Structure 1
């Protein structure tokens, strides 16, 4: 069964076939989607054969679209099972089941610092964390204290070797030598990927500093305690819920809803736990300007926004456990469509089972939509976000900083190298969700946001039969006009964006196309429709044997061998007190570089291009096939073909 006869539906199926073709290498032998086909890849992941919760969420979305086109829902169900197997920690992966977790004392406080060189930091028991209001409710609803959410990063091929020699379940439930949970970023907003030390999420003290593992890089005085810790990227879990919604709609229209009912129930459960992303890192109340500020009680510490992460962990013996939220939210992570899906207005099958969940998501929906208006620049683009912990240490923000429900405006929340809101992709990803929400609900507030954003974006886009270009990097000046805690946000006459440069990036183009497509279909906007079609045709003109791609020149690859410099605060910082080894024997010391603790990269088939650059040659050019981008390209064709079947 296929739906529609649009040539763009055929393009979707052709692209889908390329992604699923084993010869093209998008999936591991275990069926895990790689971040990219190519292995020499450094961006957020530092190796192409790692993967992210982001990739999983796009996979689910892709399979939902495939179910719509073919009526076959087995791949959608199988993708969720694979996700549960490999990137949602099982009970064995959460030793002790968090049975000792105390929601009245969720975590000990550790300040964040601006520079990696200011780590490790000390834990403090004198700073009082607030109460976790979700733990008891979730445990009562689901019968245990396990967390049901994705960790953000996997080393799929175990290139680092943290799985090598791993035994059975006592070591965080991983009895394979592949597909291991890892983490990288841990040391403040200036820690770019080039300044990270990869480490296992299940810390058995086998690698790193002898007898201590990796924790002493981050927390001073870390003892010899085997422990585990996972970090959730809320935008990915929300995207999985979004995918489940469409699967439910399309399967129901086909009379096949029963085929996916168990998967839909799991998506609602994920949305229940996703509420942890609404909370301040240490459950502190909004407007916190000192570590001694008031601790939250009940739900007073909830921002009702999708913050940058939530995290949870404990020791491998099960004698202690912790949970934290995040004190920073970014416009690029918001998903009002997912909030609506999980609210009392969404479909009953996707409503979380906990008694207060739907009400929380009702509030989140309104809060998120208002945040776009509060952050919308005079031109139309959406500015950064907000923080409840200035400098990551609950400091007072500069005088005159406007606030959103007590959280202070931040033009580059979470990370600064590069600035987190520079990338146009966060605009396209975020507004695509607003556009889908608008198409489903017709919400006038969503239309107001999109009317201005779409006009700005199209005004910055060129597209013809032979070429296209749209924004890549953005620069920001000014700030929101006023603080906001209800009503209608003031117009931002002094908050401005300029476009620094343009791009033909096919993945970001796909997200942008989908935003325009959904908006055009609801608003009957000819300009948006024509721009979407022109861009889609331009992207599809870049097809190759493995998908769709354009060449990328990577000038940033000169950072592979950067040596730490105290004067510039650049390079890989390792404190002199720390000496250890990576699993392959690479030494970790104050003289280490990004490359020296990843010596296996020198054996990569494409390494010679980087080495020539490091030797003084021209910046290397790569052709990458990122899983999320290839999936989004397929779905851009599917969306256009289904919403505009006549072309």
Structure 2
């Protein structure tokens, strides 16, 4: 027995409605997106560069501003100039013309509500390098390129030396963009949180730093959830007064001279004589100027030069020590290079600069404090 025609039509309408209701979820399921995600996806992108004139690195921070998880993301944007992608990290980067596409890596595919992930790349260019004006994630436009805050660590001074137990004064300035406000500034010793200040002027005093090198950083947060680190500042905590030398690595070509600088870490009560000489190693290297330098209570913090000269032949390294009564000594490694090794000398010069404890990127033992990406973006050229 079959149902009457009117009832059959009603049943067909119910089946049609049911299939139509199922069609959207099934379509969304095949694309990996739910209706809630499609409707709720909200995002912002912080765009930060380090530009040296013919190339730059970019650091992109994608923040999930919605209430649902982003489970897999593709970020797209475009440049207006001739920027050319070199390589990227924390994501798969590709370029088509002026259009850039970044797909998530396996470890950062999932972005919880309110959370953020970062990705970066290196580009070359000529002419102008204008920032992109819009971004999209999974095809949904973001709320624009909200610029992260700017944090600057104004104290202590780079390269400062403190005595163990002495208070180290930390101070920072912070500014927010896009009508946001600064919510707090955190102070770090490498990755260790030292303290937080929520109102300007942002400052902190610490006196429990261990003897050795320290990389200090200020991290600012704004009211829109963006954050940014300051350039690191390197300081040294000594057990007592010490002779300070810079750089700690020096290359000298045969037949030529090079210099390093010395000063005192603390103001003395009376004059102090600093004596510099080869302590061990290559005998073809010798101090030819600045072997004995006098520091007074007035000029103790003004660097004076020690000149090291290499003989016309020979290669190898030597350790030079600068010593003073009542002070810990400073040691500098000087390497004699062949006369033709101009590039090697330049390499050692740059290596000495980047490993200078005042920069805050490497410990006195030569161990980097920060990631390779941070070093690429922020280290001095």
TM-score range, shorter chain: under 0.3
Q: Which of the pair has the greater relative contact order for Cα pairs under 8 Å at 6+ separation?
A: 1
Computing the radius of gyration from Cα coordinates, the structure with the larger value is: 2
Hey, which of these two has a bigger chunk of strand by percent?
2
